[in-house]
Structure 1
């Protein structure tokens, strides 16, 4: 079902206005209680206004589409499709499906709805580069950030499904999109596209997945959380990690309520999590509340229950085998958000699993400057694995 609201609302004016547009979708009957459509079905679409397009996009669409949650349940997600200038090549525009970095956990905090969150990660120029090369770009919000539903932060299977299903939905709306796709993502988006690449063969076999690029992908944090979640830990941690750990436990708690994952948090931890869930500044308030503070103050007891640890690994741990197409990992040497050793360890794990994976290091790159520093290598990798024409 394609249900178009009567009034167009520019996506970047305010989050409230953008969600009002999504409320029009709900009025047309899209809800979690509705009988499920096939994953990748577009429930609603509209052309993007010129003011909503990123640089070098000739046109685009806002979508709400069907996808699949972490535990296999029907869900919906939002996202944008951007098309380059000119006529599509034979077979249609090849697609880069982009996974964005951390933007918050409250509904409405999707970068597609907030003008790129001031584009801290340089993601808009990255997507514009793909358009300049002649690729269409599909940019998922993930479940719950840009459409109704629960957002389960860093839930690997849910993210992966959303990244794949937006390509399916985009093709149903615009037949100029090809079935050939490369996955690319930064930070938690790198985590998302790695899961998508692992799931693709079984979940979306009609897509012609050629390769995956993962920029500073979130990885190997599950063991870190269990190791440092001691109330007596009195040292501050790198930027962003404290709030991310809380959001991971909150997401896990939503997928498996019986584990009571947030019971491990102290009163202070619950307060900071509530700030993040409120959407105040889309994480700015929560990050400010813990800046320079000891990590241990956020926990009432260590994360030590074997059942919880096993569930955490199932929820977040990056798969090391079974990938479709080659992987390229890209990592900054002075990244304090996703430190270099975690990605080096991931590369070792992938190689031990027999995965076709390679790692490119950029010694002076931070988490926020990696994308422009890696651009030449990623352009060459794209041209090699999926020529745009």
Structure 2
């Protein structure tokens, strides 16, 4: 996210940038110092519009126009981003199911697969499932697996049906396929 990024981005990506920056501004108002008038205007739109209309409004825009200076010029930005966007890598006391659409253009499939692999390597109780759908289709595609997962927990299974070795093997195979 810097001003020299002049590539046109898909509208949904621009919308996510605006939502993300709005959230960051809530915890770190100093980010405003590097926002351009266009950046402030997009954030104002993000406060009013749902994803579809915002994505349509921002189609073809470029992220660089949101800034007057590189985001890393904000003091403490890396720690802020880590705290704000970071996800836990250890310490799960309950099983975790991650479901992802393999054709997701909003959240890259490989990002979630690598996160699941990291959890499995650390011995965290993770179940990763992928589906031949995009971002919007994942919830419907994952419903049956999700219901089984929750049902196992409600029936008292501490593992929710997760076999750590089977899951690690499955995730390893998915990583090989993703190469």
Shorter-chain TM-score above 0.5: yes
Deviation at 1:365, TM superposition (A): 0.7
Instruction: Identify the residue that residue 350 of structure 1 maps to in structure 2.
Output: 119
Structure 2 CA distance, aligned partners of 1:284 and 1:367?
Answer: 13
- Tell me how far 1:367 sits from its aligned partner: 0.8
Deviation of 1:231 after TM superposition, in Å, equals 1.6
Who is 2:77 aligned against?
308
265 and 370 in structure 1: CA distance in 2 versus 1, 3 angstrom threshold = same
**Structure (1/2) with the larger helix percentage:** 2
8 Å contact from structure 2 (residues 95, 126) kept in 1:
yes
Question: Are 1:263 and 2:33 counterparts?
Answer: yes
SS of the equivalent of 1:368 reads helix
**Which residue in 1 is equivalent to 2:22?**
250
8 Å contact from structure 1 (residues 332, 365) kept in 2: yes
Deviation at 1:354, TM superposition (A): 3.0
Give the CA RMSD over aligned residues: 2.2
**Which residue pairs with 1:376 in the alignment?**
144
Q: What is the TM-score of this pair, normalised by structure 2?
A: 0.76
Runs of 5+ consecutive residues of structure 2 not aligned to the other structure:
157-179
- Structure 1 residues 239 and 340: alpha-carbon distance in aligned structure 2, compared to 1, 3 A threshold: farther
Work out the CA distance in 2 between the residues paired with 1:344 and 1:236. 27
Give the TM-score of the pair, scaled to structure 1: 0.37
Distance, in Å, in 1 between the alignment partners of 2:102 and 2:79 is 30
Q: Which has the higher strand share?
A: 1
Quick check: 1:334 aligned with 2:103?
A: yes
Task: Supply the distance in 2 between the matched residues of 1:334 and 1:341 (Cα, whole angstroms).
Answer: 10
Alpha-carbon contact 2:12-2:51 (below 8 Å) kept: no
**CA deviation after TM superposition for structure 1 residue 336, in Å:** 0.7
Counterparts of residues 9-88 of structure 1 (less than 5 Å): none
Q: Give aligned pairs, total.
A: 155
Q: Which runs of 5+ in 1 are unaligned?
A: 1-228
Contact 1:350-1:357 at 8 Å conserved across structures: yes
Partner Cα separation in structure 1 for residue 5 and residue 50 of structure 2: 27
Partner SS state of residue 55, structure 2: helix
CA deviations on 1:295-335 (whole Å, 9 max, x unpaired) are 22222222214611211110121111111211111100110
- Is the Cα–Cα contact under 8 Å of residues 273 and 286 in structure 1 kept in the other structure? no
Please report how far the alpha carbon of residue 340 of structure 1 lies from its aligned counterpart in structure 2 after TM superposition: 0.4
Distance 1:360 1:283 in 2: 25
